[in-house]
Chains A and B, each alone.
Chain A
Amino acid sequence: MAIALDRHNYDAIARAEATRRKGGWIVLGVALLVSLVWLAPFYYLIVSAFKSSTEYAAGHPLALPQGLSPIVDNAIRVWTDAKLGWGLVNSALYGLVGASVAVFVAAMAAFGLTRLDFSGRTFWFMLIFSGTVFPFQMYLIPLFFTYQQIGLLNTRAGMILFYCAICVPFPVLVLRNFMAGLNREMDEAARMDGANDWRVFFSIVLPNAKGPMLALFLLQFTWIWNDLLFSTVLGNTPEIRSVMNALQVFQGAYTSAGPNIAMTGALMASIPTVLLFFILRRHFMAGLSVSA
Chain B
Amino acid sequence: MSALSESDQKLLERIGTDRIAMRERKTRRRNFATALLFMAPALLLVCGMLLYPVLFNIWLSFTDWRKFKGLDTFVGFQNYKRLFGQIYFAEAAFNTMIWVVASLVVPVILGLGIAILLRGVRFENAFKNLIFLPRVLAPTAVGVIWFYVYAPTGLLNYLLSLVTGETVSVGWLYQANTVTPAIIATHVWQTVGIVMVLLLLGLSAVPRDPVEAAQMDGAKPWQTYFHVILPILTPTLVVVTIISVLAGFTAFDLLWVMGSTYPSQRTLSLVVFMYFEAFQKGGWAFGGAIAVVIGVLVLLVTWIQALLQARAERMVR
Chain A residues engaging chain B, CB cutoff 8 angstroms: 9, 12, 16, 20, 24, 27-28, 30-31, 34-35, 38-42, 44-45, 48, 60-62, 102, 105-106, 108-109, 111-113, 116-121, 124, 127-128, 130-131, 133-146, 161-162, 164-166, 168-169, 172, 197, 201, 225-226, 228-229, 232-233, 244, 247-248, 251-252, 255, 259, 262-263, 265-267, 269-270, 273-274, 277, 288-289, 292
B287 on interface, CB distance cutoff 8 Å: yes
CB < 8 Å neighbour of A144 from B46, B215, B279: B279
> Could you tell me if B130 and A35 are in contact, using CB atoms closer than 8 angstroms?
yes
Chain B minimum-CB-distance residue to A289: B201
Indicate which residue in B38, B49, B60, B121 contacts A111 across the interface (CB closer than 8 Å): B38
Q: Give 10 nearest A-B pairs by CB, closest first.
A: A112-B38, A165-B49, A112-B35, A142-B53, A109-B42, A226-B138, A142-B56, A118-B32, A165-B45, A244-B140
Q: Is the CB of B189 within 8 A of A38?
A: yes
Is B77 among interface residues, defined by CB-CB distance under 8 A? no
CB within 8 A of B49: which of A45, A162, A277? A162
Task: Say whether B223 faces chain A, with CB atoms less than 8 Å apart.
Answer: no
Task: Tell me the complex Cα distance, A138–B274, Å.
Answer: 10
Q: How many residues of B contact A (CB 8 A)?
A: 90
A141/B291 in contact, CB under 8 A: yes
Task: Please measure, in the bound complex, the distance between the C-alpha atom of A270 and the C-alpha atom of B153, giving whole angstroms.
Answer: 24
Task: Find chain B residues with CB under 8 A from A61 CB.
Answer: 153-155, 158
Return the contact of B139 from the options A48, A143, A145, A226 (Cβ within 8 A).
A226
Residues of A within 8 A of B302 (CB): 133
Beyond contacts A45-B145, A116-B38, A133-B299: 4 other A-B pairs, Cβ-Cβ < 8 A, are A48-B148, A244-B141, A247-B141, A247-B144
In Å, the complex CA distance between A169 and B54 comes to 15
Q: What are 9 A-B interface contacts by the 8 Å CB criterion?
A: A41-B149, A109-B43, A116-B38, A118-B31, A127-B43, A133-B298, A143-B49, A228-B257, A269-B140
When C-beta atoms are compared, the residue in chain A nearest to B192 turns out to be: A38
- Given contact pairs A127-B43, A127-B46, A292-B198, A135 touches B141 in the complex (Cβ within 8 A): no
Pairwise interchain contact A146-B271, C-beta atoms closer than 8 A:
no
> How far apart are B36's CB and chain A's nearest CB, in angstroms?
7
B172 within 8 A of A: no
**Contact, CB under 8 Å: A141 / B130:** no
Partner of B127, one of A35, A146, A225: A35
Q: Mark B96-122, 1 if CB is under 8 A from A, else 0.
A: 000000000000000000100110111
Q: B38's closest neighbor in chain A, by CB?
A: A112
CB-defined contacts of A228 to chain B, threshold 8 Å:
138-140, 252-253, 256-257
B117 near A27: Cβ-Cβ < 8 Å: yes
Per the bound structure, the CA–CA distance linking A192 and B239 in Å amounts to: 44
Residues B10-67 near A (CB distance < 8 A): 27-29, 31-32, 34-39, 41-43, 45-54, 56-58, 60
Q: How far is the CB of B106 from chain A (nearest CB, A)?
A: 14
Smallest CB gap from A169: residue in B: B46
Q: Report the separation of the CA atoms of residues A145 and B139 in the bound assembly, to the nearest whole angstrom.
A: 27
Chain A residues whose C-beta falls within 8 Å of the C-beta of B38 in the assembled complex: 108-109, 111-112, 116, 197, 201
Residues A136 and B250 in contact, CB atoms below 8 Å apart: yes
Residue pair B279, A233 in contact (C-beta under 8 Å): yes
Q: Is B151 close to A, CB under 8 A?
A: yes
Question: Is B290 positioned at the interface, with any CB of A under 8 Å from its CB?
Answer: yes
Contact (A105, B117) CB under 8 Å given A44-B149, A137-B274: no
Complex: A124 Cα to B46 Cα, angstroms: 12
**B43 and A259 form a contact (CB under 8 A):** no
B84 CB → nearest A CB, Å: 18
Q: How far is the CA of A121 from the CA of B39 in the complex (A)?
A: 11
Known: A116-B31, A166-B50, A225-B138. A263 touches B148 (CB 8 A): yes
Q: Chain B contacts of A248 at CB under 8 A?
A: 140, 143-144, 256-257, 260
With a cutoff of 8 Å between Cβ atoms, the chain B residues found around residue A20 in the complex are 120
Does B261 count as interface, using CB distance less than 8 angstroms?
A: yes
How many angstroms from the CA of A266 to the CA of B138 in the assembled complex?
Answer: 9
A143-B42 contact in complex given A24-B122, A62-B155, C-beta closer than 8 Å:
no
Residue B284, interface by CB 8 Å: yes
A135 engages B39 (CB within 8 Å): no
